[in-house]
Amino acid sequence: MKALLVLLLGGVCSAAMADDATRAAEQIPVEQYTYSQHLDIAKVLAMSPVASVCEVVPARMTYEDSQGHRHILEYRVMGNGCSNG
């Protein structure tokens, strides 16, 4: 019975921590990239997939700077759907 209680409490705590992490990620403002911007990227955490179209599309990168602050950067890339032939 004690083991079941420990497992139940552990599951509740894990779910609460995951929910807090999700809320924290939602509160990070999305920064729009400009060519004159100097970036301080210490660690890339995630990158959005690039669409399979032949046009310029938005993409996002989540990263930490050298101070450990998390950023979300939106920029434009050429889609992966173009062919040369």
Report if residue 84 sits inside a domain: no
* Strand-strand pairing, 70-78 and 43-47: unpaired
In which element (H, E) is residue 63 found?
strand 56-64
pLDDT single digits (tens) 27-60: 899 999 999 999 999 999 999 999 999 999 999 9
> Residue 83: inside a domain, yes or no?
no
* Contacting residues for 36 by C-beta, under 8 A, at least 6 apart: none
Indicate the number of domains in the chain.
Answer: 1
Q: Range of 44's domain?
A: 2-78
pTM: predicted TM-score of the whole model, two decimal places: 0.64
CB atoms closer than 10 angstroms to residue 40: 11
Q: Is residue 17 part of a domain?
A: yes
Asked if the structure places residue 24 within a domain, the reply is: yes
CATH number at residue 67: 2.30.140.50
Half-sphere exposure of 35 (CA within 13 A, CB side): 0
Q: Is residue 22 part of a domain?
A: yes
